[in-house]
Amino acid sequence: MEELKFLQIEITNKCNLNCKYCLRNFWSFEKPGFIDLKALKEIIFKYDTQKYVLYGFGEPFFHPEIREILEFVCERGEILLITNGTLKEVELYGEMVHYLGFSADTFDMKNPMRFVKTEEVLKRAELLSKKTKVFLSVVVFKDNLQELPEVVRWAGERGIDVFVSHLVPYTKKMASQSLFAEVSEAVFKKCKEMLKTIEEAKRVLYLVQKFSQEGVKIHKEIIKAIGDYHLNLKGVVSAWEREALLNQTADIFESCREIARAYGMRLALPRIFADEKQRSCPYENALFIRADLKVSPCAEFAYSHRLFVNDREKEVRAVISPSLEFQNKKRRLTHYYPWCGDCQLTNGCWFLEEGMDCYGNQPSCSECLFSAGIARCVVWDYVKASSSCNKNTCFS
């Protein structure tokens, strides 16, 4: 078996918080609990890797044996762990982690998405930054966008890195807070160039939906102009309607880059537009072990796609061995998986309802915002951060 780039182990799927955007509110966790220490040791001995990610859909420092876990894993390799920073155990054992992330989206105590004592979290982050490598894990959305430069500056002044991801929307209300477009930027720009105004784009969309000859003709012309990309004209119109917000997000991201350059800090920012031709899998050559010891090829499949979640006694046969083909697909994501963001038939798509895609993949990576760099995968950024690449050129 090829060496794993990293092994992610969910040491607990229990949490002491209830953040509004957390997947815990949308996925069914069969048996919330803590991973058994003995079983964790067996897993560590079984897989050949030097990088361990010890978090999933719970608060790691909530585990009653967190000290023993960290002591054991430290002997085997490097640890990444993300915490909400609210428990006293963070101060007691946080320095045992090689790369410690704190979820800190805002300085505003009235933030509608997440209710924590922000000052305490940042105080612990600053304290631990003197003892180990620390970064802030920030989820950005409409309500906290304006604060992002302040968060980056605060971190830069203390030698703390910042990893930013867009909010992954699971409801219409969450979608209203999003700051990204799933259509490819190249397609969006070409449509703007050819159609000139949003009013014309809406007119052409209407004509296409009515199967008029004029609409079909213009649609074909755009498809010819965008080359190998697919055309989701409805998505283009949606992005055009939100262009002012997307441009504002781009400007604020650029100001954050300038701050990061000034402090020589690592800053990872997500894409604002997707790119159908530039997708990659953050979990290439990696595995996710759930707290109940079931295994998945990535965190996104861990609880939502039961077809790819297996009992431990089946994991080598049912996941790792045939995953050589799956890994090959993940390496060539743009070849083997369509991108739903550029598909005009996504709304009401029969394939998606059946948990597959129009290429026949089941389950599919065709909707994965992490593959498109929109939802920024902290785990993958960590792997790059700890590599030998230049500190100031690792992130975008």
In this predicted model, what pLDDT tens digit does every residue of 357-387 receive, in sequence order?
888 887 788 989 999 999 988 887 766 665 5
Per-residue pLDDT, averaged over 66-73, amounts to: 97
Per-residue pLDDT, averaged over 271-283, amounts to: 93
Q: How far is the C-alpha of 252 from the C-alpha of 91, rounded, in Å?
A: 33
DSSP strand E in the chain: where? 6-9, 51-53, 78-83, 99-103, 133-140, 161-166, 181-184, 267-268, 273-274, 286-289, 295-296
Contact 60, 66 (CB under 8 A): yes
pLDDT of residue 326: 61
Contact 39, 82 (CB under 8 A): no
> Please, what is the Cα angle at 394 between 388 and 396, to 5 degrees?
175
pLDDT of residue 229: 95
Q: How far is the C-alpha of 215 from the C-alpha of 194, rounded, in Å?
A: 14
Which residue ranges does the chain devote to CATH 3.20.20.70? 6-170+245-279+374-385
What confidence category does residue 60 fall into, taking pLDDT thresholds of 50, 70 and 90? very high
Q: Which residues contact 103 (CB under 8 A, 6 or more apart)?
A: 82, 83, 84, 85, 114, 121, 136, 137, 138, 139
pLDDT of residue 392: 37
* Fold held by 6-170+245-279+374-385: TIM Barrel (3.20.20)
Per the structure block, which two tokens stand in for 389?
């690449």
Contact 227, 250 (CB under 8 A): no
The region that residue 197 occupies, defined by phi over 0 for left and psi between -120 and 50 for alpha, beta otherwise, is beta
115, amino acid identity: F
Do the strands 286-289 and 78-83 form a parallel or antiparallel pair, or are they unpaired? unpaired
Q: How far is the C-alpha of 260 from the C-alpha of 153, rounded, in Å?
A: 8
pLDDT of residue 47: 82
Q: How far is the C-alpha of 273 from the C-alpha of 182, rounded, in Å?
A: 6
Per the structure block, which two tokens stand in for 48?
């050949």
Residue 316 in this model has a pLDDT that exceeds 50: no
| Residue 107: closest CA among 155, 62, 59 | 155
Within its chain, how far is the Cα of 34 from the centroid? 24
What confidence category does residue 177 fall into, taking pLDDT thresholds of 50, 70 and 90? very high
What confidence category does residue 32 fall into, taking pLDDT thresholds of 50, 70 and 90? confident
| Residue 203: closest CA among 229, 237, 241, 235 | 237
139-149 pLDDT, tens digit per residue, is 999 999 999 99
Q: What are the b/e assignments for 336-363, b being 16+ CB within 10 Å?
A: bbbbbbbbbebeebebbeeebbeeebeb
Per-residue pLDDT, averaged over 132-153, amounts to: 94
In whole numbers, what is the pLDDT of the chain averaged over residues?
86
What confidence category does residue 111 fall into, taking pLDDT thresholds of 50, 70 and 90? low
Query: Which position has the higher pLDDT, 166 or 391?
Result: 166
Residue 314 in this model has a pLDDT that exceeds 90: no
Residue 323 in this model has a pLDDT that exceeds 60: no
| Residue 97: closest CA among 382, 393, 388, 394 | 382
Tally Cβ neighbours within 10 Å of residue 170: 14
Per-residue pLDDT, averaged over 80-94, amounts to: 95
pLDDT of residue 78: 94
| Residue 374: closest CA among 187, 238, 179, 198 | 179
Q: How far is the C-alpha of 358 from the C-alpha of 123, rounded, in Å?
A: 49
Q: Which residues contact 144 (CB under 8 A, 6 or more apart)?
A: 105, 106, 108, 111, 113
239-266 pLDDT, tens digit per residue, is 999 999 999 999 999 999 999 999 999 9
Exposed / middle / buried, residue 122 (Cβ in 10 Å: 0-12, 13-18, 19+):
buried
What confidence category does residue 237 fall into, taking pLDDT thresholds of 50, 70 and 90? very high
Q: How far is the C-alpha of 300 from the C-alpha of 377, rounded, in Å?
A: 11
pLDDT of residue 308: 54
Q: How far is the C-alpha of 133 from the C-alpha of 100, rounded, in Å?
A: 6
Instruction: Verify cis geometry, omega within 30 degrees of 0, for the bond prior to 270.
Output: no
What confidence category does residue 307 fall into, taking pLDDT thresholds of 50, 70 and 90? low
Per-residue pLDDT, averaged over 94-116, amounts to: 78
Query: Which position has the higher pLDDT, 326 or 185?
Result: 185
State which of 12-16, 42-46, 212-216 shows the largest mean pLDDT.
212-216
Contact 252, 148 (CB under 8 A): yes
Per-residue pLDDT, averaged over 19-30, amounts to: 73
Q: How far is the C-alpha of 34 from the C-alpha of 36, rounded, in Å?
A: 6
Tally Cβ neighbours within 10 Å of residue 248: 15
pLDDT of residue 293: 85
